[in-house]
Amino acid sequence: MRELYAKLNRLFPLGELTERRSNLAFITLTAEYLRPVLLHLRDREGFSHLVLLTAVDWLEEGQFQLSYLLSDRANGRDIGLRLMLPRDGASMESIHDLWPTAATYQRELREMFGIDFPGSPRINEEFILEGWTDIPPYRRDFDTLKFAQENFVARPGRETWDPARHMKDQLYPDGA
């Protein structure tokens, strides 16, 4: 993967490389180079399969990380492209023209994270949720437990134990 990174780095300014396994690496890059890098990887290097497209919310740093994972079946290797976006008004170029199936992923990200992909087909149609008016639920600042308690009626009698204390009481009553 290092040769590939070196080769790519000659063509495009890339960020850091994280090697996870011998056949899986993650590369950080900036938004304007995403499309050329994707095109290069798809057409020149054989990474023709878009495995997934998802986002990670780094709330503390005020950023969304978009992860594009590509796979090269012939050589059995995968490459992940990391892309940082500012959390406010997050918007990214759509890649549905490279992989039609990316439209579905982008629709989900629009709904669950609130990241916009202008031009992606049916991007504003409801995908999973229906009538959702709160914060997009996969954002870190959305508290699912609080939402559930406010919206749904709970049946009384359900108890929750702290696992650590419960284990201590049940298994080691002597305080070992």
Partner 1 sequence: MKAELEKRIVKGPDGIEFEVDPLQDYYCQEAPTVMPAAYSKIVEGFFNWARAESLWILGFGTGCGAIEMRPLMTPRFDAYRYGVQWRPTPRQANLFIISGYLSVKTLKRAIRSYEQMQNPKYVIGLGSCTINGGMYWDSYNTLKRLDYYLPVDLYIAGCMPRPEALLQGFEDLKEIIRAGKGEGANQYAQYFDWYKMNQKQVIHDWDMPDYNW
Partner 2 sequence: MAYQPDRSQYPARRPDGLSRHPASRDTSTALCVGSLDIDLASGKYLKLWQGPNHPGITGNMSLELTVCGDEVVEGKTHVGYLHRGFEKLMERRTFIQCFPIVCRICVPEPDFNEYCYAAAVEELAGIQSPERADWIRTLILEMGRINSYLMYLGGQAGAFGLGVIGQWTTYVRDLMLDRFEELSGARIYHMFILPGGVRDGLPDGFEQRMEETLVEIERVMSDVLDVMFRNAVFKKRAVGLGYIDPALIEPYGVTGPPARAAGVAKDVRKDQPYLVYPQLDFEPVTGADSDVYTRADVRRRDLLMSIDLVRQILARMPKEGPLMAKIPNVLHWKIPRGETYIRGECSRGEYGYYLVTDGSGYPRRVNVRGPSYTHAMALMERLIVNCNIADVAGLLVSLHTYPPEIER
Give min distance, CB of 10 to partner 2, in A.
25
- Asked if residue 15 binds partner 2 (CB under 8 A), the reply is no
> If contact means CB under 5 to 8 A according to the sort of partner, which of partner 1, partner 2, none does residue 125 touch?
partner 2
Q: What are phi and psi of 171, to 5 degrees?
A: -95, -35
- Asked if residue 161 binds partner 2 (CB under 8 A), the reply is no
Binding residues (CB under 8 A) for partner 1: these are: 128-133, 137, 142, 144-145, 147-148, 151-155, 157-158
Q: Which of 90, 89, 94 is nearest to 104 (CA)?
A: 94
Beta bridge partners of 63: 58, 86
Which of 7, 11, 13, 101 touches partner 2 by CB under 8 A? Answer: 101
Give min distance, CB of 100 to partner 2, in A.
5
Counting beta carbons within 10 angstroms of the beta carbon of residue 64, is it exposed (0 to 12), middle (13 to 18) or buried (19 or more)? buried
Q: What are phi and psi of 52, to 5 degrees?
A: -160, 165
Which segments within 16-162 are labelled E, that is strand?
Answer: 17-21, 24-29, 49-58, 63-72, 77-86
Q: Give whole-number Cα distances, 113 to 5, 65, 108, 130, 144, in Å.
A: 30, 11, 8, 15, 14
Give min distance, CB of 144 to partner 1, in A.
4
Instruction: Please state the separation of Cα 93 from the chain's center in Å.
Output: 15
Give min distance, CB of 170 to partner 2, in A.
13
Give min distance, CB of 102 to partner 1, in A.
24
Q: Which of 152, 69, 53 is nearest to 112 (CA)?
A: 53
Which of 5, 56, 63, 85 touches partner 2 by CB under 8 A? Answer: 56
Note the residues at the interface with partner 2 (CB under 8 A).
Answer: 18, 20-21, 23-24, 26, 48-52, 54-57, 67, 69, 73, 76, 78, 80, 99-101, 103-104, 110-111, 114, 121-122, 124-140, 142, 144-145, 163-164, 167
